[in-house]
Amino acid sequence: MTVIAVDALRKSYRDTEVLKDISFDVERGEIFGILGPNGAGKTTTVECLSGLRVPDSGSVSVLGLDPRKDRARLRQVLGVQLQNGMLPDALQVVEAVELYRSFYRSGADPDELIAGLGLAEKRKTRVSALSGGQFQRLAIALALVGRPRIAILDELTTGLDPQARRDTWRFIENMRDSGVTVILVTHFLEEAQRLCDRIAVIDKGRIAALDSPLDLIKKAGGEPRVTFRTERPFDTTALRSADGVTSVTTHGTQNPETVVTGSGNLLLTVTTVLAAQGIAPLETQVRSASLDDAYFALIGHDAKELSA
Amino acid sequence: MTTTTEKAATVAKTGVPLAGFGKLVVSEAKLVLRDTAGVVIPIGLPMLIMLMNGMGSDGEGIPEFGGLPVLDALIVPMTIVMVVALVGVVNLPSFLATYRKTGVLKRLSVTPMPPMLVLVAQTVVSFVQSLIGVGLALMLAVLAFDVSAPRSPLLAIGVFLLLAATMYAVGMLVAAVSPTPNSSVAIGLVAFFAMMAGGGGFGGRDALPEWLATIGAYLPYGAGIDGLSAAWMGAAPNVLPLVTSGGIAVLAAGAAIMVFRKN
């Protein structure tokens, strides 16, 4: 069942065309990722979904509602975490959750929600005294306290340390398991690959690709690669002609590094060919194709700074 | 579209629960109470000034003041106006400008609670704070200096309400035009002192050049002092400055809402 339908969205700020042609559908119960470099139009897209911005043209339907005309109804069923949406510093965690709970006709029990997000010990802590990870968990609590059917999370894990990021991922998965459809805006490829059922890659205001992470990788032609060093240069002819090998590159003269890409059981192919030539590979590494490869193939190298 | 799409009818029509607004007022009240300086200064400073004026006065009735001592006819009205102006023009905008700048209002705009109601909740809390401040000041005035009750109590209440509305409207405008939370305090203080100086808050309007005194009498601060003075003396108030003050309230509130809406 489609819960969000976006069709031919366009939006300009002054002279800059931020969204040129954005169309996608989101199915109930999925984690739908919106991925792209800074300034690609990710936040503007979700702001159109939540009714914060009006598109210049195109249509948006969320749970069958128009985000602008049916604001009041949509607000009751849509949970939103904003990239820079804040709370008064002096408010306590429990006060914030109870306050937000009171805005909704029905919703979660504030104390259960706080405990579920691991904030029980911070109940009485002021917002200003929370760590980045704790604050983001509070942001999740506020997005979920009205028991929304759709949650929009915009760069939820930006600025978190790896442990806090992983904890947050677990909460997002729990969210999906409880039946909430999640729109996840991110620029972390690892996060998108791990969490998302489908990903829309947005670049320069357009959808560059829309697929499951696996299919994105496949379609972008990403292949596994085997990297190894040898004591001295060797003849790579046999390796090049081996079954399943698509490319072989070597660089360096002292302990040269060789990179082999291809399909099938590439590691077995490589070790078999080298053994036949009496060569012992050093520091062998196998890396399967990742979303990174697919992403950079789609976006181009000018987006490299995002690979963190 | 090949798949089924969720029907709008499955989403119940709902508004903001009234309980939500009550909770918002309580929450704003807690935040105001936690801002110690914002609680103490608008209530304590005017009382302190009144106390010092009161100790220096002999309590003798003056014919021009309808036979009332200076304390009753002038100092008490000045104290009341100062409380309301400090709460409305300095305190209120410091909260609202922070909310605007730090995204508190934006975050609310994606919940069923309209962000405008935070402004209303803050105003309710500010009004209660003004009432408490004025109540304490009057208590002190009665206990320490035996100040009399206003001869026209209804006029006193009316002027107080008008004054509060005007000061909060000016405060909202200050919050709306301030680029940062810090600048809202600066702009608020400048607005406060300008109105106070023009309104005779520093030793009476007689000391001012005539044109400035005239302007000051029509601004909310001066109009408030004169209106309350008239109420204490039981004299007829000068209507035009009070009407002007009301007009300023409407204009400032309208302009503030327009600016807030735009952002």
Q: In which band, very low, low, confident or very high, does the pLDDT at B14 lie, cut at 50, 70 and 90?
A: low
Which chain B residue's Cα is nearest to A47?
A: B110
Which chain B residue's Cα is nearest to A67?
A: B110
Cβ contact A1–B6 (<8 Å):
yes
Residue type, B170: V
**Of A25, A75, A87, which has the smallest distance from its Cβ to B110's Cβ?**
A75
**Of A50, A77, A85, which has the smallest distance from its Cβ to B11's Cβ?**
A77
Q: How far apart are CA A190 and CA A168, in angstroms?
A: 13
Q: How far apart are CA A31 and CA A199, in angstroms?
A: 9
Within 8 A of A77 by CB-CB distance, chain B residues are 11
Cβ contact A88–B103 (<8 Å):
no
Percentages (nearest 5) of helix, strand, coil residues in chain B: 80, 0, 20
- pLDDT mean by block of 10 residues, chain A; 308 residues: 92 89 94 90 92 92 91 89 84 95 90 90 93 88 92 86 86 89 90 92 90 83 82 87 87 86 85 89 84 77 44
CB atoms within 10 A of CB B68: 23
Does B33 touch chain A if contact means CB atoms closer than 8 Å? no
Mean pLDDT of B167-185: 91
Give the single-character DSSP code of B110.
T
Cα of B174 to nearest chain A Cα, Å:
19
Burial category of B161 from C-beta neighbours within 10 Å (exposed 0-12, middle 13-18, buried 19 and up): exposed
Give the model's pLDDT for residue A151. 94
Strands A78-81, A2-13: pairing is unpaired
Give the single-character DSSP code of A11.
E
Does B180 touch chain A if contact means CB atoms closer than 8 Å? no
Which chain B residue's Cα is nearest to A2?
A: B5
Which has the closest alpha carbon to B224: B207, B188, B190, B200?
Answer: B200
**Residue B260, φ and ψ in degrees, nearest 5:** -60, -40
Residue type, A258: T
Give the model's pLDDT for residue B16. 64
Mean pLDDT of B246-255: 94
Residues A82/A85/A91/A96 CA torsion (nearest 10 deg): -30
Taking a C-beta distance cutoff of 8 angstroms, is the pair B69, B59 a contact? Answer: yes
Q: In what order do the strands lie in the sheet with A16-27?
A: A57-62, A2-13, A16-27, A206-211, A198-203, A31-35, A181-186, A150-154, A78-81
**Of B10, B14, B20, which has the smallest distance from its Cβ to A72's Cβ?**
B14
- CA distances, A68 to each of A53, A61, B183 (Å): 8, 10, 33
**Of B1, B8, B110, which has the smallest distance from its Cβ to A65's Cβ?**
B8
Give the model's pLDDT for residue B3. 45
Q: How far apart are CA A164 and CA A27, in angstroms?
A: 28
Q: pTM value? A: 0.81
Question: Between A and B, how many CB-CB pairs are < 8 A?
Answer: 117
Within 8 A of B102 by CB-CB distance, chain A residues are 86, 88
Question: Per-residue pLDDT for B189 more than 60?
Answer: yes
Cβ contact A64–B110 (<8 Å):
no
Q: How far apart are CA B180 and CA B185, in angstroms?
A: 9
Give the model's pLDDT for residue A307. 40
Within 8 A of A70 by CB-CB distance, chain B residues are 8, 11
Give the model's pLDDT for residue B1. 41
Give the model's pLDDT for residue A78. 93
Q: How far apart are CA A260 and CA A236, in angstroms?
A: 10
Does B262 touch chain A if contact means CB atoms closer than 8 Å? no
Q: In what order do the strands lie in the sheet with A257-262?
A: A245-251, A257-262, A225-229, A282-287
Q: Tell me which of B101, B107, B117, B125 to substitute to probe the interface with A (most A C-beta atoms closer than 10 Å).
A: B107
Give me chain B's average pLDDT, please. Answer: 87
Residue type, B117: L
Within 8 A of B13 by CB-CB distance, chain A residues are 72-73
Q: How far apart are CA B74 and CA B233, in angstroms?
A: 10
Give the model's pLDDT for residue A100. 94
